[in-house]
Amino acid sequence: MKVIICGAGQVGWQIARHLSAENNDVTVVDNNPDLIRRATESLDVAGITGFASYPDVLERAGANDADMIIAATFSDEVNMVTCQVAHSVFSVQRKIARLRAQSYLDAIYSDLYRRDHLPIDVVISPEREVAEAALQRLQAPATFDTEQFLDGKVQLIGVVLDESCAVLNTPLRQLSELFSTLRAIVVGVRREGSLFVPEPGDQLFAGDQIYIFTHTEDLGRTLEIFGKSARKRERVIIIGGGNVGLSVARKLERRTDRIRARIIERDRQVAERAADALERTIVLHGDGLDRDLLDEANIEDADAVLAVTDDDKTNLLVSTRAKAAGCPMAIALVNDPTLNSLMAPLNIDAFINPRATTVSSILRHVRHGRVRMVYSIGDAEAEVIEAKVMAPSSIADRKLRDIPFPEGVLLGMVAKGGEVIRPRADTVIEEGDVIVMFCLAKDVPEVERLIQPGIGYF
């Protein structure tokens, strides 16, 4: 597949990294020569320096025979014009654009993106993706990572094991025997900084970060087995009233379980805009690092603090201060993945990486075969892939034990019709089934080959 990626920033670079590693023909376009140099020197991609919306630049990038264009520059308008030029001049079939401004995303203007108006096939909103990720963290408060699959019936959770976990030093195969009715499976373990897919004889130890697939109905029981509380969060303090914080507050106000939220925002105009847009949420103007303001917001009585300002260090410091003031849970928005290692020393419970959420959103629209969803783990260390099994493919109508999955891949859950099951060695994977797999990054290309039907998606 020939793909043009416009924008060589963090998101564009990660998309190029994924697609080039899978032997796609990738060209990266950016008006910053340093970013192009970084991409071409570190990745197997071609680079074009120039403005992505210029027709001559796209022509040099190979738009005449490109299968897809991904517009992920820092400018919404450049991304929109790039898709228009790609459609009108070069007839590129599939166009994906990252748009940030909320006005472009309002549902009442969705007619704008029709092919006879502004031809964008997929619109990705980083702020909305991050807001949704934040809500999922709040719904599973004992986890540091979480995502839903199979239409919300299956949840991936990441938990850190401590000494209170009752199943430490127990081979995983024994867990399956002890909890035979539990629809859950450990699919990934990060130990001493290294992520791996566990074998049935592997044991878990205190300090391990583990990833688990669980049926949503079994989420509470799964958390209890691994020593975590499933207590609901009813009072939330949001630090940052920008697009992300405002989106989270709006979604909380629409929920039926009436979670109470307060926002602290340093910029007066942003705070006033948030106050005007919300009905039940209290908005306080001030610095989230101010201990007196945190006390005014009743931080000691809050169930969680969600720090989503546009500054990583502020988010980390606010989270730490909130935990020191008595808040039991802190979630921080962190753009720089190298700061994730500070989560444990700073006693921060969970982090949200906007780059990873945006990359995951774009990848789910790029994959070959019948991939329905992709979720990136850590700093692109692994992926969770949800795919529909089509015939002919290498896995259709075969028992799980007979499918040659690589060592870094574990099949977690299977949806057969309306039923979701935890697969066993003799489970037959049939055409029409939807499967969810945990895959280390190096094994993603082989997984795509296995699930690829006879005729590609495109």
Q: Indicate the average pLDDT of the chain.
A: 88
Contact of 17 with 380, CB cutoff 8 Å: yes
CATH topology of domain 130-225: Alpha-Beta Plaits (3.30.70)
- The fold of the 363-451 domain, in CATH, is Alpha-Beta Plaits (3.30.70)
pLDDT digits (tens, 9 = 90+) for 8-38: 988 899 889 878 876 789 999 999 999 999 9
Segments making up each domain of the chain, as ranges = 2-124, 130-225, 237-357, 363-451
Strand 260-265 relative to strand 235-239, pairing: parallel
The answer to whether the CB of 369 falls within 8 A of the CB of 456 is yes
Cis, bond preceding 392 (omega within 30 deg of 0): yes
Residue 456 pLDDT > 70: no
* Nearest of 210, 231, 219 to residue 329 by alpha carbon: 231
Classify domain 2-124 at the CATH topology level. Answer: Rossmann fold (3.40.50)
Q: Please choose, from the candidates 168, 132, 166, 162, the residue with its C-alpha nearest in 3D space to the C-alpha of residue 147.
A: 132
Residue with tokens 């199979």, as numbered in its chain: 150
131-182 pLDDT, tens digit per residue, is 888 887 777 767 888 888 998 899 999 999 988 888 999 999 998 888 988 9
| Cβ atoms of 373 and 453 closer than 8 Å | no
Q: Is the whole model's pTM more than 0.75, yes or no?
A: no
**Fold match between 237-357 and 363-451?**
no
237-357 carries CATH number 3.40.50.720? yes
- The pLDDT tens digits of the residues spanning 61-111 come to 999 999 999 999 999 999 999 999 999 999 999 999 999 887 787 766 767
**Whole-angstrom distance, CA of residue 288 vs CA of residue 298:** 12
Which pLDDT tens digit goes with each residue over 405-447? 999 999 999 999 889 999 999 999 998 899 999 999 899 888 8
Task: Tell me the pLDDT tens digit for each residue of 304-357.
Answer: 999 999 899 999 999 999 998 889 889 999 988 777 777 778 888 888 888 778
